[in-house]
Amino acid sequence: MTPEERAPTIDRPLQIYALVGLWALKGFQELLSGVFGGGFYIWGQASLGKLDGYPLQLAIQAVLLAAALSAGNFYVMVALWLGRRSARRWGVFFALLSEILVLAYMITRPPEFGGDANIVRTVIIGSIVNLGIVAVLLFDPRLASFLGSTRLVGWWAPKR
């Protein structure tokens, strides 16, 4: 085959592969534990009559939030892979939203979660992942040039 007949290749930076994998893990974790796990928990507790009224409404809202986060995580994963400009903006938004929810575990942890060591370990690991994603999305120039948007990088510096 001649070079003209070959399909064009996309020169993705290595950061894209790592970020796509992280967003896939975040999306599946939210889908499996938040949507499916929460849905089965709600169904089981409601069928036993232990969950009704306002607590049932809050539990359903939590499952809907998990579904929205999962959909957002999968959108960012696909947008990063395709090199869409909006991947950076939405990636920062969903990573920071996920960070807020991870930090909320410190206040609202369920009693079956375990002791303080378990919650602190979960929050620290989640914070490292979320804030690391935000840092890479905001400050990596190769990623910014691949996604075609350098507006978020250097916005604090005066234009020359």
Q: pLDDT-based confidence at 140, cuts 50/70/90?
A: confident
Rounded mean pLDDT, 6-30: 86
- pLDDT tens digits for 63-84? 999 999 999 999 999 999 988 8
Q: Residue 36 CB: number of other CB atoms within 10 A?
A: 13
Q: What are 95-104's pLDDT values in tens digits?
A: 999 999 989 8
Q: At residue 151, does pLDDT exceed 70?
A: no
Do 98 and 69 meet the contact criterion of CB atoms below 8 Å apart?
yes
Helices (H) and strands (E) in the chain, counts: 6, 0
* CA distance linking residue 91 with residue 130, whole number of Å: 10
Is the CB of residue 69 less than 8 Å from the CB of residue 30?
Answer: yes
**CA 72 – CA 81 distance, rounded (Å):** 14
Q: Tokens 């978020």 map to which residue?
A: 152
Confidence of residue 1 (pLDDT cuts 50, 70, 90): low
Pull the structure tokens for residue 33.
């534990």
**pLDDT of res. 141:** 85
The rounded percent of the chain whose pLDDT value lies above 70 is 82
